[in-house]
């Protein structure tokens, strides 16, 4: 009788340890699924509404003013990127400040929540908060040659070159300003039309925009009348607005 009781206790103990061991194996934490992805935003620079190729250091005939313009420097800021999900929610890309040029014309955005997106918005320029944030690093480092002073802030668009129509043969437009009445910050909001931007751990899509560089001279400003801007003012606001209007959504590379 005693032996039978001891044997029962032993079997129960073994069963208890087996249960604990099984639970410890099954309760081990599992790796969380990756729910983020990477996307690229690409800016193709063109010349005119017909999307003719834009070339640096090459004389190009302006389609509206008929001025001949050769650009040897072009830089501008794209910032404050926001993605609109197909369900209507928005993802604000943190610390999204990028300095774009024809030579450095794409940006990579990591850790984007997986999902289907129907649109994107961004600023061409730098928001007022960062214009008042003191010395910064990365794209906003003053060493990039895109900063005036603490009172005036960042140059949003910088374009330089030559033109035979210029009184001096040179053109130099430094466009910026973030306070009224000379606020040159421009926000653009794009929908992807019938296309869908799908972000997933296994995908790396590219959103492709065209930038019509000639658009900066659409309107009242002609090279012969105004070949230099290096401070805030009405003309800087007008030309910055023209330039931002030259950004168009083109397509998505899957």
DSSP-derived 3-state class of residue 150: coil
Distance, CA of 26 to CA of 29 (rounded, Å): 8
- Alpha-carbon 5 to chain mean position: 75
- CA 143-149-150 angle, to 5 degrees, is 110
Distance, CA of 25 to CA of 118 (rounded, Å): 43
Distance, CA of 9 to CA of 21 (rounded, Å): 18
Distance, CA of 75 to CA of 174 (rounded, Å): 10
pLDDT tens-place values along the chain, 254 residues long? 445 544 544 444 444 444 444 444 445 555 456 699 999 999 999 999 999 999 999 999 999 999 999 999 999 999 999 999 999 999 999 999 999 999 999 999 999 999 999 999 999 999 999 998 877 899 999 999 999 987 789 999 999 999 999 999 999 999 999 999 999 999 999 999 999 999 999 999 999 999 999 999 997 778 999 999 999 999 999 999 999 999 999 999 98
Domain boundaries, given as residue ranges, for the chain: 1-30, 36-253
The H or E element that residue 13 is part of is helix 2-26
Beta bridge partners of 42: 106, 208
């Amino acid at each position: 009788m005693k032996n039978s009781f001891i044997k029962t206790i032993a079997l129960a103990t073994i069963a208890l340890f087996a249960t604990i061991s099984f639970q410890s194996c099954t309760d081990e934490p599992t790796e969380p699924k990756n729910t983020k992805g990477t996307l690229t935003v690409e800016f193709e620079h063109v010349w005119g509404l017909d999307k003719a190729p834009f070339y640096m250091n090459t004389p190009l005939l302006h389609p509206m003013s008929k001025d001949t313009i050769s650009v040897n420097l072009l830089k501008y800021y794209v910032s404050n990127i926001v993605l609109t999900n197909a369900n209507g929610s928005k993802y604000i890309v943190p610390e999204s400040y990028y300095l774009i040029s024809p030579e450095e014309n794409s940006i990579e955005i990591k850790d984007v929540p997986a999902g289907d997106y129907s649109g994107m918005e961004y600023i061409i320029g730098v928001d007022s908060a960062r214009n008042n944030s003191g010395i910064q690093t990365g794209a906003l480092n003053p060493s990039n040659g895109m900063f005036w002073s603490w009172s005036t802030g960042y140059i949003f668009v910088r374009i330089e070159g030559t033109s035979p129509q210029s009184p001096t043969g040179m053109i130099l437009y430094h466009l910026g300003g973030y306070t009224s009445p000379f606020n040159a910050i421009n926000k653009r909001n794009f929908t992807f039309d019938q296309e869908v931007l799908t972000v997933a751990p296994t995908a790396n899509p590219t959103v492709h925009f065209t930038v019509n560089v000639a658009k900066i001279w659409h309107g009242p400003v002609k090279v012969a009348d105004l070949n230099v801007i290096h401070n805030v003012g009405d003309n800087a606001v007008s030309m910055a607005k023209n330039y931002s209007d030259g950004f168009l959504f083109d397509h998505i590379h899957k």
